[in-house]
Every structure is written in C-alpha cells, then in structure tokens.
Amino acid sequence: MGFPENVLARGERVERSIHPHWLTVALPTVLGVLLIALAVFVAVVTPDDSTGNAVQWVSVAVLAVLAVWLVAVPFLRWRTTHYVVTTHRVMVRRGVLNKSGKDITLSKITDVSFGQTLFDRIINSGSLRIESAGDSPDEQFSNIPDSNEVQQLVNRLIDEDDLRRRRHGAGRSDHDDEYEEYDGRYDEDADGAWEDEADAGRPRLAEERPRRGRRDGR
C-alpha cells in the first residue's frame, strides 16, 4: 500500500515517505511464529480420531483469531501509516478501514526537534516533534526511522519554501535564476574565447616583426 501521490498539489514533490520503524512490528512477527509453532504442536500431539480432529479444528480457529488480532492488525496498521515530507508540507496518513490524516504546511512550522533514547540510537530511530503557529496543537511522532535526518530535511525544506515564497512575492520565478546562471556561463565562455583568440594572435605578430626587418634590410 504505497502513498497515494494523487493528493499532491501542482509542483509539489515528495522528498521522503516513510513508515514507522520496522521494530514496531517485531513483536507481532514473533507472536506469529509462536502461533504457527503452537498449531504444529497441537496437530502432532492430538490423536488421529474424531476427538483429536475436533480438538485440532477448534485449536486452528482460536489460533487464527489470535493471529488476526495480534499479527495481521498491527502489521496493517504499520503498513498504512505514512509520514510524508514534501516540498510544501508534512503529511500524516493513518488507518486501515477508518482513515485519518493531518497536513502541516511548511510556512506554519515554527520549530522541529527530535529525541532519542539510548535504545533509539542503537536501532536508528526516535521521536519527532513539530511545533506550528496558530491554534493547532504540536505534533509528536514516535518510532521515526532516521529521525535526525528527517529533522534536518524538514528544516532545509522550510528554508527553501521561505525563499521560494519571497521570490514569488517579489515577482521573480525560478526560471529567472536559471537564465541568470546560463547568462553567466555564456559570458564566461565568450570571454574565454576572446582571450584564446588574442593569445593565439600574439605569437603571429611576434613572428611577423623579424620578417619585416629582414625585408627592410634587403
């Protein structure tokens, strides 16, 4: 279940899309293995008769319900939780059947911080706290992989978004900088070409002067 990119605005680009740290589904995975082992054990120890078959079917039904509750639901909850950082905002999407989400515009973010315990540093995880202007409460996200890098990414995008808004406010576009950069390269190349021609012309003048002297001597 990938992130639906059709929710992006025009010109918006996803910089990073992540799920909670994989360790959040480590315990459900272990429980799934234990449930499978328990099902195999019940199938082996029960007698092969009508009573044993009934015990096996009841055991399979109970273990299947436990597997859905303890394994499938946590895995789907992890898989359908998206933390998305774009060039315009920070988005959170959660939910398997009932969906919920929140968007935090970069221009409204006032502070981004992260926290890591010793165990978080070992598994390269942490929490991310985003403070925003207005009446909306601060957001705390837990089990974020590479929380330090995500914090630096959000801060960089905030600066770029602020610069872009200032340019648009001043009537500039991103293409203006491209034209200026291109003109600078063109002028530099042109100056270099003129200098090369001048350097190439100097030896020829130096060679012509002795020849003129010899003709005058004759």
CB count within 10 Å of CB 157 equals 21
Phi then psi for residue 132, to 5 deg, are -130, 155
CA distances from 7 to 4, 11, 12 (A): 6, 12, 10
The one-letter amino acid code at 215 reads R
What mean pLDDT, rounded, does the chain reach?
A: 78
pLDDT in tens, 121-162: 999 999 999 998 877 778 889 999 999 999 999 999 999 988
Predicted confidence (pLDDT) at residue 1 exceeds the cutoff of 60: no
pLDDT for res 48:
81
Is pLDDT larger for residue 6 or for residue 77?
77
Structure-token pair, residue 35: 């449930």
Structure-token pair, residue 168: 């648009």
- How many Å apart are CA 20 and CA 42, to the nearest integer? 35
Asked if residues 36 and 114 have their Cβ atoms less than 8 Å apart, the reply is no
Asked if residues 98 and 51 have their Cβ atoms less than 8 Å apart, the reply is no
Predicted confidence (pLDDT) at residue 46 exceeds the cutoff of 50: yes
- How many Å apart are CA 182 and CA 175, to the nearest integer? 10
Phi then psi for residue 135, to 5 deg, are -90, -10
